[in-house]
Structure formats: structure tokens, C-alpha cells
């Protein structure tokens, strides 16, 4: 089951007031309803949403609806559930602010449908049932969208979402209008807004795990970069030492340079700090990282002079 289906299934059990039911039903019919001369047809792939719309219509308008289950002719995978409303058609459409008294379609719903915060939330939830989808947080991208044929409905939903500061945007895609949210915090707030408490817990847990994984990866990358830097520096020092020993011999070096050369060759993978601690422990003399760095600079000066003399020859 997709994450979208899980969210729709969870919120389809919420109890609402009559005005909230009207708001949710209005949004759903606007997006997923077809109006014919004799009846209204609603459709959805989610059985729980279908049953919810069916019960709302029956409870509010005291009529009997009809539900039919048909296979999806396009994908042949999911069933589509159709609800047919054959009674009180004009009354229902006017009451839900979908048509006016003359039967003309209203591009935007009336203010009384979304007159309170809870009614706005219900309307958004009904729109999500009809046209919404949300990526599972386990996927690579955080993404929530509503996809509409009608520009006016897309703009209206965007406005409602942004009343809750969810930073919803609109994009024209394949002649359809996509209202989308990308920020993970905003998507989490959206789930809270529509009442998906279990979905929020799941979403936040996955987000926390992904963030921890990202932090671990960054630390590992940083550690690897430091290791590479240490090895590069150590290899340069070993090359300097080997060049001096090959050209001038060990006796050319004073005791301090000879000592540091011996330890560097013995511990090639140690950082300067680690090498200073090893030498201090084994020699019984305090040797700092700064002191070691000074000795290696002396060795590099000698090695560079040898390289330059070879070039002149």
C-alpha cells in the first residue's frame, strides 16, 4: 500500500461536524465529480474514501446513493469505486456551492463553505482525497501535490494551504495545474493539518533516521578526507626522507632530524599529533606537534635543495 493510501485510509476515519462534512464533500465533488443531466457521478480508487463520501451524502441529505466497483481500464490494476447520486441533484450541488441557482458551475466555492479553520481543513482534506498524493519519506525526495484540470481550483487550494504558511506553489504540467509542497517541515505540518497523526509519527521517524544517516555520512566523508590528507602529507615526508638518505646518508642528519625520520618511516599512517604522542611516550621527552612540524620543514628544505641540484645537472 502506498503512503498516500495510508494517509487517506487513516484520515477517512475522522469524525466531523455537519459543516465540516459539507466542506470535505464540496471539495471532493468539485475535483472528482461529473455532473450529468440526471445524476452526479463521483469516483475514487480508495474504498474507504468512497464509503466516507457515501455516508456523508446519505447523512446530510437523507437519500440513498449507489456504489459500483469497476476495474481500471487504463492500468488494469486498481479498482475504481463510483458513487451515483440520483436524488436531490440540484439541491446538493447548490448546497455544496458547486453550481448557482441557475445551474451554472461556480469556478470558486462560496466563503460559507470554508468559513472556519476546521472547515478549511476539511476542504483541504477532501481535495487531497480527490487529487492529492504524497511521496513516502523513505524515497529520495519530499513531495506533496494536488493535480487539477481547473486553474481556479488550483489557485483556491494554494491560497487555503498558504493560510497555514505551507509555502504551496503552482506549476503548469501537461496542461494540468499542480499545486505542490517540497519542504519536509511543511509536508509534516500538512499531515498534522488534515489529522493524520499516525502518518506524522511515521513521517517524522523516517525523517529523523534519514537526517541521522546524512550526519553519519558527512562525518565519514570528513573523516575520510582527513585520512587522505594525513596520508598525502606522510607520503611527501617519506619521499623527502628517502631522497635524503639515498643521496646523503643517515649520518648527514643531526640527531633530531634522524630521530623524526626514523619514527616517520616506522609509523607512516600516523598524523602529526599521533606521531608526537608516540615519540613522547617512547623517548620520554615531550615532543609537540608544532615541534615535529618544524623538523619536517627542515627535512623538506634539504630534499628540495637536492631536487633543484639534480635539475641543474
State pLDDT tens for residues 167-224: 999 999 888 999 999 998 999 999 999 999 999 999 989 888 877 776 777 777 777 7
Does the pLDDT at position 140 exceed 80?
Answer: no
**pLDDT of 67 above 80:** yes
Q: Once rounded to an integer, what is the mean pLDDT over residues 143-169?
A: 94
What are the tens digits of pLDDT across the range 3-59? 999 999 999 999 999 999 999 999 999 999 999 989 999 999 999 999 999 999 999
* pLDDT greater than 80 at residue 82: yes
Strand ordering across the sheet containing 79-85: 33-35, 40-44, 79-85, 66-71
* pLDDT at 75 exceeding the cut of 60: no
> What percent of the chain is predicted at pLDDT more than 90?
50
**Residue 118 in contact with residue 85, Cβ under 8 Å?**
no
What's the whole-number mean pLDDT along residues 232-260? 86
Whose cell is 519530499? That residue is: 142
Secondary structure element (H or E) that encloses residue 201, with its range:
helix 197-247
**What's the pLDDT score for residue 313?**
41
User: What percent of the chain has pLDDT above 70?
Assistant: 96
Q: Please say if the pLDDT value at position 265 is more than 60.
A: yes
Pairing of strands 33-35, 66-71: unpaired
Q: Is the pLDDT of residue 304 over 60?
A: yes
Among 135, 146, 195, residue whose Cα is nearest residue 13 = 195
Q: How far apart are CA 238 and CA 265, in angstroms?
A: 7
Confidence of residue 72 (pLDDT cuts 50, 70, 90): low
DSSP 44-77: ES-HHHHHHHHHHHHHHH----EEEEEE-TTTSS
Amino acid at each position: 500500500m502506498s503512503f498516500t493510501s495510508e494517509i487517506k485510509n487513516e484520515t477517512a476515519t475522522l469524525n466531523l461536524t455537519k459543516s465540516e462534512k459539507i466542506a470535505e464533500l464540496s471539495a471532493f465533488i468539485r475535483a472528482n465529480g461529473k455532473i450529468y443531466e440526471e445524476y452526479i457521478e463521483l469516483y475514487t480508487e480508495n474504498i474507504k474514501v468512497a464509503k466516507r463520501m457515501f455516508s456523508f451524502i446519505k447523512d446530510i441529505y437523507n437519500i440513498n446513493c449507489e456504489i459500483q466497483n469497476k476495474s481500471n481500464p487504463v492500468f488494469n490494476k486498481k479498482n475504481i469505486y463510483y458513487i451515483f447520486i440520483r436524488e436531490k441533484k440540484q439541491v446538493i450541488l447548490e448546497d455544496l456551492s458547486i453550481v448557482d441557482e441557475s445551474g451554472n458551475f461556480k469556478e470558486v466555492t462560496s466563503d460559507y463553505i470554508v468559513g472556519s479553520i476546521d472547515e478549511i481543513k476539511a476542504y483541504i482534506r477532501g481535495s487531497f482525497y480527490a487529487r492529492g498524493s504524497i511521496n513516502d519519506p523513505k524515497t529520495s525526495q519530499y513531495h506533496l501535490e494536488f493535480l487539477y484540470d481547473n486553474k481556479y481550483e488550483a489557485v483556491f487550494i494554494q491560497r487555503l494551504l498558504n493560510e497555514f504558511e505551507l509555502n504551496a506553489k503552482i506549476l503548469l504540467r501537461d496542461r494540468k495545474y499542480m499545486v505542490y509542497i517540497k519542504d519536509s517541515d511543511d509536508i509534516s505540518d500538512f499531515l498534522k493539518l488534515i489529522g493524520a497523526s499516525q502518518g506524522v509519527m511515521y513521517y517524522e521517524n523516517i525523517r529523523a533516521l534519514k537526517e541521522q544517516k546524512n550526519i553519519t555520512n558527512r562525518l565519514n566523508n570528513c573523516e575520510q578526507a582527513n585520512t587522505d590528507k594525513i596520508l598525502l602529507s606522510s607520503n611527501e615526508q617519506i619521499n623527502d626522507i628517502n631522497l635524503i638518505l639515498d643521496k646523503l646518508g643517515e649520518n648527514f642528519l643531526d640527531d633530531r632530524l634522524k630521530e623524526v625520520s626514523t619514527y616517520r618511516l616506522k609509523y607512516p599512517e600516523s598524523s602529526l599529533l599521533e606521531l608526537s604522542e608516540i615519540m613522547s611516550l617512547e623517548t620520554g621527552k615531550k615532543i609537540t606537534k608544532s615541534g615535529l612540524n618544524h623538523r619536517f620543514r627542515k627535512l623538506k628544505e634539504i630534499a628540495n635543495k637536492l631536487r633543484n641540484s639534480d635539475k641543474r645537472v
